[in-house]
Amino acid sequence: MDPDNPERRSSAASTVADRRPSGPVYLASRGRQALGVREIVGANRFGAIVGAIGGAIGVCVGVAAAVIALIPSSALWMSGFVCISGYRLGRSQPGQSVSFQCFNGDSSYDVSDLAVFTLQSVLAGLVLCVGLIGIGLIRGRLRRP
């Protein structure tokens, strides 16, 4: 059996030609790859988690800022958290910017805007989480036969 033998090469070429399909060729599906769905692994998973957390924080801060700008009285619930005892939370001056002060009769002091926005963002996050859980439960019930 000499590999340089021309008779040997022609018989190998003819067997390959005999194996070629004459009709249309259908390839078997390779599962998720055939659909174009890529699995998130390694660094991609980390990036997706960081992006989701960052997006959720951004949504909560945005909702809190919008609610405080549109309805400043919505922040008055946190009086017990940002004011010392005997003081209550209120808007300092009506106008373009929204800022808060703790009042007690004739004395007052400014409240940290960061504290107000943080607490309002936490509240917005809780409301959004409850809403997402509720939507998930409703979708789960609708999918069941």
DSSP assignment string, the chain: --TT-HHHHHHHHHHHHHHS-SS---PPP-GGGTTTPPP--THHHHHHHHHHHHHHHHHHHHHHHHHHHH-GGGGGGGHHHHS-TT-EEEES--SSS--EEEEETTEEEE--HHHHHHHHHHHHHHHHHHHHHHHHHHHHHHH--
Domain interval for residue 81: 56-145
36 within some domain: no
Q: How far apart are CA 67 and CA 104, in angstroms?
A: 26
Residue 22 in any domain: the answer is: no
Does residue 29 lie in a domain region?
A: no
In a domain, 102, yes or no: yes
Distance of CA 122 to the CA centre of its chain: 16
pLDDT attached to residue 16: 56
Count of structural domains, the chain: 1
Identify whether 79 is part of a domain: yes
Q: What is the pLDDT of residue 133?
A: 93
Please give the chain's pLDDT, 145 residues, in tens: 555 555 555 555 556 556 666 666 655 555 555 555 566 566 678 888 899 999 999 999 999 989 888 888 888 888 888 988 889 988 876 666 778 889 898 888 888 888 888 999 999 999 999 999 999 999 988 887 7
For 57, the token pair is 């924080």
Structure tokens at 140: 């789960």
Picking from 120, 111, 60, the residue whose alpha carbon sits closest to that of residue 89 is 111
Is residue 116 a part of any domain in this protein?
yes
Q: What per-residue confidence (pLDDT) applies to 112?
A: 85
Paired tokens of 49: 């988690």
Decide if 83 is inside a domain. yes
pLDDT at 131: 92
